[in-house]
Chain A
Amino acid sequence: MKHLTEQDLLDTYYGEPPEAATEHLHECPECRAEFARLAELLDEVRNLATPPRGPGYGREVWARLQPHLPAEKPHWWTRRWLLAPIAVALLAAAFLAGLLTQQKTSPTQAGLSQKDRQRIFLAAMNDHLERSEILLAQLVHTDSGEIDLSGERARARDLLDENRLLRETAARSGDQAHAALLEDLERVFLDLANSPARLSSKDAAELRQRVEDQGLLFKVRVTTSDTRSQGKTL
């Protein structure tokens, strides 16, 4: 009878026995004894303790680490999006000005050229889509089971007002592609903003499914990339 090699015994110990090794161990007392010696030693070695770390250890590591993390160095174009709140305010002003002067003056006469209005719109749109993408990604990638949505609800509410303004601006300027995407987003944000803080696994799965069925995350990513390119061109 051919006995098991040391490698066979080791693989068996680690739960990956070669073919017929388990059977052989049943039949062969020599191999069984050798396996027992190996397993005893390795089991003992496994008992080596490490100094315990409390449940908050991960948070402690983060607290020590964060001050040392290098600051983000975004692309010059991305840096402009940090001015998003200003851009949104300007967009709101431009939107209002557009409404007031719609029948009387051209956009240029309202104080902003068409190009400026477009640039502001794209900047605000890009920032909005990036933040929407983070929220959607969290929804889609969340584990199954009941989920706590309190944080996401608050962010959805923040995004909702901005989303409405952008959608109306897009629709008024005849930008149907952006308007349609923003309409889809608005429905998801509305549901999320009005959902209970804790969502059952069934409701969470439905919400995830809706986002996935519409390909919303993909559309947002593609559109973000497009608006960024258009912004660069302008």
Chain B
Amino acid sequence: MEWTDAAAAEEARKGNQHGFRVLVERHSHALFRLAYRMTGNEHDAEDLVQETFLRAYKQIHRFDGRAGFGTWLYRICSNCCLDLLRSKKNKGEMQPAASEDGQSWLDRVAAPGFTPERLAESSQIAGILEPALKKLTDMERTAFILRHYEGCDIDQIACILGVHANAAKHSVFRAVQKLRRELQPAWGAAQ
């Protein structure tokens, strides 16, 4: 029997781990995508998914159901990602992301299941996009990823970032402006 997010969250709040398991199994993919796009590192993304669910479990009593459970998880995950990025920045670790086996983000897109054309295209985009994304502020980067890749609307982004809708909208706008400035010349030359 399929539980809705609200019902599963209610069960989890009462201490029923099965309820929480339903939520973990349902939202893991989306959180991994978000974490990977935020950090550009597969290993970090895996850890962040774990950390997000751990925080969510401990704070489940704070989930009031006003926003969707997915939105609430995105908020926690975004905060986890930003904490990690800030901590790496402080430690001076913000070099091109590489996983344990030494593969960079660029290499990682060469995953099974992609056609050669798709691989080439994706690698090319990653090579240009990664440095451009790093020039965005934390809020711009998060807002853009949520809007562009996760399909969140402005109200959801505002809720996730804990800001007013206008600020969320402006962050997406500034992110796109900066990306256009960075990418348009490079993209034009590559084409």
A contact set with B: CB distance below 8 Å: 6-7, 10, 14, 16, 37-38, 41-42, 44-53, 57-59, 61-62, 64-66, 68-70, 72, 74, 134, 137-143, 147-149, 151-152
**Total chain B interface residues with beta-carbon distance under 8 A:** 57
**B14 to chain A: which residues have CB within 8 Å?**
134
Asked whether, in the complex, the Cβ of B28 is within 8 Å of the Cβ of A69, the reply is: no
**B180 to chain A: which residues have CB within 8 Å?**
38, 41
- The reply on B33 being an interface residue by CB < 8 A is yes
Q: Top 9 closest A-B pairs, CB basis?
A: A58-B25, A141-B7, A58-B28, A61-B28, A49-B122, A72-B15, A49-B109, A143-B2, A62-B24
Asked whether, in the complex, the Cβ of A10 is within 8 Å of the Cβ of B29, the reply is: no
A-B contact list, 18 entries, CB within 8 Å: A10-B173, A16-B153, A45-B129, A47-B118, A48-B125, A49-B109, A51-B108, A51-B109, A52-B112, A61-B49, A62-B21, A68-B54, A69-B17, A69-B54, A70-B58, A134-B16, A137-B11, A149-B1
Nearest-neighbour CB distance to chain B for A65, whole angstroms, equals: 5
The complex places the Cα of A47 from the Cα of B124 at a distance, in Å, of: 10
**A134 to chain B: which residues have CB within 8 Å?**
11, 14, 16
Nearest-neighbour CB distance to chain B for A35, whole angstroms, equals: 13
- The reply on B74 being an interface residue by CB < 8 A is no
- The reply on B178 being an interface residue by CB < 8 A is no
Asked whether, in the complex, the Cβ of B1 is within 8 Å of the Cβ of A47, the reply is: no
**B29 to chain A: which residues have CB within 8 Å?**
53, 57-58
Asked whether, in the complex, the Cβ of B121 is within 8 Å of the Cβ of A47, the reply is: yes
**B54 to chain A: which residues have CB within 8 Å?**
65, 68-69
Tell me the number of A-to-B contacts counted with CB atoms below 8 Å. 125
Asked whether, in the complex, the Cβ of B176 is within 8 Å of the Cβ of A48, the reply is: no
Nearest-neighbour CB distance to chain A for B75, whole angstroms, equals: 18
The complex places the Cα of A49 from the Cα of B58 at a distance, in Å, of: 32
Asked whether, in the complex, the Cβ of B6 is within 8 Å of the Cβ of A141, the reply is: yes
Closest to A14 in B: B147
Asked whether, in the complex, the Cβ of A69 is within 8 Å of the Cβ of B32, the reply is: no
The complex places the Cα of A143 from the Cα of B111 at a distance, in Å, of: 35
Contact flags B12-44 to A (C-beta < 8 A → 1, else 0): 001111001100111111001100110000100
Asked whether, in the complex, the Cβ of B111 is within 8 Å of the Cβ of A65, the reply is: no
Q: Give the contacting residue for B24; candidates A7, A51, A65; CB below 8 A.
A: A65
Nearest-neighbour CB distance to chain B for A233, whole angstroms, equals: 23
**A143 to chain B: which residues have CB within 8 Å?**
2, 4
Given A58-B25, A142-B2, A70 contacting B57 (CB threshold 8 A): yes
Closest to A72 in B: B15
| Known interface pairs A38-B176, A49-B126, A142-B4; 15 further A-B residue pairs with C-beta atoms within 8 A, sorted by A's residue number | A41-B183, A48-B109, A48-B125, A49-B109, A51-B111, A53-B28, A58-B26, A61-B24, A69-B17, A69-B57, A72-B15, A134-B14, A138-B7, A142-B1, A142-B3
Nearest-neighbour CB distance to chain B for A127, whole angstroms, equals: 13
Asked whether, in the complex, the Cβ of A48 is within 8 Å of the Cβ of B7, the reply is: no
Closest to A145 in B: B2
Closest to A13 in B: B176
Given A46-B149, A51-B108, A57 contacting B1 (CB threshold 8 A): no
**A152 to chain B: which residues have CB within 8 Å?**
1
